[in-house]
Amino acid sequence: MKHRRTGRIFGRVRNQRKALMKTLLGSLILHERITTTEAKAKEMKNFIDQLVNKAKTAKGDETKRLAMIRLLSQQLPKVALEKLTQGEFIDHFEGRESGYVRVVKLGQRMGDGAKMAIIEFVF
């Protein structure tokens, strides 16, 4: 039974899933728009909301900022972390409390018929 089980498996073991999410989130932050499968895009949506909220709270106090950077560094590549914490990237989301990204569904991929989607930031 699947009672109280959340998240998608993607046919991978835990380490591979974590690495996949880390690279996808990093790519999304760097490029601000990526094309991936629909399931991966929907799963990323939850993670990106949490990351942006953490980065927004870390913006003010310096001790909070260092603690959040340490926490976020486990979840993001270093280049994406710098863009997320040190720029005007977070300033775009001052008026929002959630819903930082949108998922736009595309057609199916030619090779294997997987449902594709574009995930992008809402500025």
Residue 15 confidence class, pLDDT cut points 50, 70, 90: very high
84 in any annotated domain: yes
9 in any annotated domain: no
Which CATH number covers residue 46?
Answer: 3.90.1030.10
For 83, the token pair is 């863009």
What is the C-alpha separation between 59 and 37, in angstroms, rounded? 32
112 in any annotated domain: yes
Residue 67 confidence class, pLDDT cut points 50, 70, 90: confident
Q: pLDDT tens digit string along 83-106?
A: 988 878 888 998 899 999 999 999
CB 43 within 8 A of CB 94: no
Which domain does 70 fall in, by range?
Answer: 14-121
Instruction: Determine which of 35-39, 59-63, 94-98 has the lowest per-residue pLDDT on average.
Output: 59-63
For 88, the token pair is 């005007």
Q: What angle separates helix 38-57 from helix 78-85, to the nearest 10 degrees?
A: 50
Question: Looking at the 3D structure of the chain, how many domains does it have?
Answer: 1
Amino acid identity at 47: F
